[in-house]
Copies of this chain bind each other. A is one copy, B any other.
Amino acid sequence: MLNRPDTVSPGTRERVLSAISALGFVRNESARHLRAGRSRTIGLVVLDIANPFFTDVARGVEEVANAQGLSVILCNSDGRPEKEAAHLDVLTEQRVRGVVLTPTAELSPQIETLRQRGVPVVLLDRRAPGPDQCAVAVDDVLGGRLAADHLLERGHRRIAFIGGPGGLPQLQERYRGVVAAVREGTGSDDALTVITPDTLTVAGGREAASHVLGLPAGLRPTAAVCANDLLAMGVLQEMVRQGVRVPDDVAIVGYDDIDYAAAAAVPLTSVRKPRQELGRRAAELLLDEAAAEGHQHDQPVFEPMLVVRESSMVRRPRPTVAS
């Protein structure tokens, strides 16, 4: 009756419906799930709920899920594998229909376990380790390259990469892109300074900026590529605070193009990723895989796009030594 109201006569339907509203009856989702064998919930585990990039992703996921009558359990791993693992355990107990996950540095064994139980897991903002699962990623090597090329074109010959070479694979890719562009543009790696902040946050960016400004004048980079926008905002704020002009003294390029980037005191040049679209696509793949009828794994890789704003707008004179 509740699921196929048309199989019942109008009179009965009417009576049932009025009884339902009179008694305030509400379906019990657990009983429903238990009997139906599959739940109406999906899990979403993000690296940092305080990062607007992930709240945008979450919006995309939620949009697709809600359109199909599914709800989303949003979990925050804070980049810590043990929190991720704990959340995945809970999601397993809840028998969620699937999980969209932005994994921490290593892929935890829980992921494989989930998949063996038949629960689809879609990786987000991360390349898949193999062809037998879905993943939604961004070409971060290209992204790093776009950022570095832009700065090289503007005449910068000393560039900092803020984000460190290690850690999350997506950061490694951005780093690789920057390195490749710098090498091709200048013929050597000498132009690049790598700085690894403690965290990928505004605070981390401020710390990194202090570090950059502490370098001797002759070695100090004239531009910084940041591994995400939070870092870039931190760098920007610390620069401004210390009286360093942006972009005149130091140009800054961020990554993700979160909304705050355009709204920063000096609007940030940033590498744009399709934030909501990433979430939507991941959710779509997840639901398709969960439907299980001849699902083809897909691993779309979105192309990032450089959005140029004030923070990198000044053209440097060609360095005298080089010309």
Contact = CB atoms under 8 A, between A and B. Distances in A.
A260 B202 contact: yes
Given A34-B34, A95-B28, A263 B206 contact: yes
Interface residues of A, number: 49
A270 interface: no
Interface string A76-97: 1000000000100110111100
A49 interface: yes
A312 interface: no
Nearest to A26: B92
- How many chain copies does the complex carry? 2
Nearest to A74: B74
A20 interface: no
Contacts of A113: 24
B27 A93 contact: yes
Contacts of A202: 259-260, 263
Nearest to A50: B55
A62 interface: yes
Contacts of A73: 71, 73-74
A179 interface: no
A322 interface: no
23 contacts: A24-B113, A28-B34, A28-B93, A29-B30, A30-B30, A30-B33, A30-B95, A31-B34, A58-B76, A59-B76, A62-B76, A73-B73, A73-B74, A202-B259, A202-B260, A202-B263, A233-B263, A236-B265, A237-B265, A240-B265, A260-B260, A264-B265, A265-B265
